[in-house]
Homo-oligomer: A and B are copies of this chain.
Amino acid sequence: MAIDEMWLQFSILKKRLTNEIFYVNLEYEDKITIRLRSEICEWLGCQLTGEKSEATVVLSVNSKLDDNLEAYEVKENEIIGASSVGLLYGFYAYLRLKLSGANLSEKSAPAQSLRMINHWDQVDGTIERGYAGESIFFGRFGSNDNTDTGSFAVKNIGTDIFRNDFTRLKMYARFLASIGINAISLNNVNVRGLGTSLIVSPYIEKVGEISKLFATFGLKTFLAINWAAPKLIGELKTSDPLDENVYTWWQQTIDHIYEVIPDFGGFVVKADSEGEPGPYQYGRNHADGANMLAKAFEKYNGLVIWRTFVYNSQTDWRKRKNDRAKAAYENFMPLDGDFSDNVILQIKFGPIDFGVREPLMPLFGALKKTNQLMEFQITAEYLGHQLDLNYVLPQWLEMIHFDNYGQPKDTIRANSPVATHSGFIAIGNVGMDENWCGNKLSQANFYGFGRMCWNNDLTATEILQEWIALTFSEVKAEVQKEIFELLIDSNQTYELYNAPLAVGSMMVPHYHYGPSINGYEYDRWGAYHFSDRNGLGIDRTTATGTGFASLYAPEVAKVFEDKSKTPDEILLFFHYVEYGHLLHNGKTLIQTIYDQHFEGFERVKSYIKSWKSLKGQVDEATYDNVADRLERQLEHARNWRDQVNTYFYRMSGIPDDQGREIYR
């Protein structure tokens, strides 16, 4: 089976470009312009002339086009980049317009400077939270199955850890560039096994080969490191960031990396989190740790991307005032202004962990003197494992536009001391699966992330329409519309049958797929719902709860502190609410729970009906792939509906006011 072309439908593009003759008009060539020539001639098989006069499309670089060197302009017969990489982006924009049949007229510059994908790929080929087969970077022997097992030990597969499938890697780099991604980290932030050694010989040389390919598509390569590397592979007795030997080891390691990869991006670091080592072990803080590395990177303009996902995963459910939601704020707010200029904090959009519904992380807007990246998760860890339909852009866009001392889409740049050291980053969702994402329709999220980074003002509707116009460019308009309808509310549908009203973790532990209402309730992960016979929800108010609500800007805090003002959809994240409490929707809490769960299930039923009507209208591989996933989703939605409804019926004793079947 051929590997899926996603939104760059090769054979259709080829047809549409059959009459075009390209001319590349440049003063200087570089690896990116050479890549561009190769894309035109070799990938698309188009005519590339040496005579400008023959050309129907002229490509050129003009640094005066825009202050932003990544900007481009596409016209009927011309593509202009503010730099070579801008030109590359312009070229893919041109293809996008061609494929979707839009006007060839677009001038654009990216809204976010760093537009990055993190891979959680492991050296044995597994992917932490991967739902589309094994890693495209690592592993050689494994199957193409869903590799998420809920446990992420790394198998020892010897030292020959790279997959070396450069055909795949080139395709992937092209997809990334075509949506404007400009940075990538290759390996899981939980760095285990030989993953720790990727930063040294002989592994860094192989990373260098990948990086060299990626650079031709305008992509900087990063690696995730294990904080304890000086001990684990450097034979030092400590990893204390203030120890001189530790610093020297890092400096030498980084020096060597730049010998091999002169344009290396930097490190991604998960420290002191979920059992990973970090500076706290040595009584140092995160600025001590990050700045030490930053110093070693300074002369290379390398970056240290430091994750704020720091919390104590040994929480005791008995201690109700403890609140994992506060952890990142409490750990990093006091350090605002203390980080070096080449350190960037990578901050998840929500205070817990990519949940189905979370409020904005209150660090956004509050951190005023720190470089910032806002982190998303394309891979559907909490959102249905790429089995259930879930077009997630509505959720992400709500987050980047949520006003907490301004909107993050603006504040993360404005509050970053080095403006270009800011942006968006997401965990990738691709693997060795033929269609890259397990579920064909999950490609929309990958595409959407790139587009959202580039243009913060696109709506979820616009992005989805774009993706459908590209991916299904030759199917009928009615069919495109049907696919649109299927996806546009799918994130909300998932939310309807999931844990109610943002109360959070009610899913099967470790796997995070399927309901387990008390799965985390008495565990050490700080994710509780506190349901009892009277009600449920987490009291995060200042007066009677954990006080998390007070961490927001005053006008936001005023809303979240007040049960009567907090919007329904986020209510149980902030308040313990009785079953009989009337919500803004005019119904009681318990009736809302029932209604949402019945509705979520019915919606999936209607998705199946709708998809079945498309048989013969979309290609067979896509039809079968999605049909199979929808059947699984229906079973999933049924389990959620019945378990949640029964659980809360048993708890509350209150029947459904419409008399629908709730099992005793």
User: Is A531 at the interface (CB under 8 A from chain B)?
Assistant: yes
A533 to B649, CA, bound (A): 9
Distance of A320 from chain B, by nearest CB (Å): 6
Cα-based distance from A647 to B530 in the complex (angstroms): 10
Is A522 positioned at the interface, with any CB of B under 8 Å from its CB? yes
A593-618 interface mask toward B, CB cutoff 8 Å, 1 = contact, 0 = none? 00000000000000000000000000
Number of interface residues of A (CB under 8 A): 25
Among the stretches A1-9, A273-281, A486-494, A512-520, the one at the interface with B is: A512-520
Any B CB within 8 A of the CB of A653: yes
Interface residues of A in 200-226 (CB under 8 A from B): none
C-alpha spacing A518/B639, complex, angstroms: 15
A532 and B320 contacting across the interface, CB-CB below 8 Å: no
- Tell whether, in the assembled complex, residue A531 and residue B650 are in contact, meaning their CB atoms are under 8 Å apart: yes
Residues A510-549 near B (CB distance < 8 A): 515-518, 522, 530-534
Q: Are B643 and A533 in contact (CB under 8 A)?
A: no
| B contact residues around A516 at 8 Å (CB) | 518, 522
Chain B residues whose C-beta falls within 8 Å of the C-beta of A530 in the assembled complex: 650, 664
B-side contacts of A650, CB under 8 Å: 530-533
A651 touches B (CB below 8 Å): yes
- Contact residue among B317, B320, B532 (Cβ-Cβ distance under 8 Å from A651): B532
Q: Residue A320 contacts which of B320, B515, B653, B664 (CB distance < 8 angstroms)?
A: B664
Q: Is A358 an interface residue (CB 8 A)?
A: no
Q: Report B-chain residues with C-beta under 8 Å of the C-beta of A532.
A: 649-651, 653, 664
Q: Report the separation of the CA atoms of residues A516 and B643 in the bound assembly, to the nearest whole angstrom.
A: 16
Q: Tell me if A663 counts as interface (CB < 8 A to partner B).
A: yes
Task: Give 27 CB contacts A-B under 8 Å.
Answer: A317-B663, A318-B642, A318-B663, A320-B663, A320-B664, A515-B522, A516-B518, A516-B522, A517-B518, A517-B522, A518-B518, A518-B647, A522-B639, A522-B643, A522-B646, A522-B647, A530-B650, A530-B664, A531-B650, A532-B649, A532-B650, A532-B664, A533-B533, A533-B650, A533-B652, A534-B653, A651-B651
User: A320-B663, A320-B664, A518-B518 provided; 4 other pairs, C-beta below 8 A?
Assistant: A522-B642, A532-B650, A532-B653, A533-B653
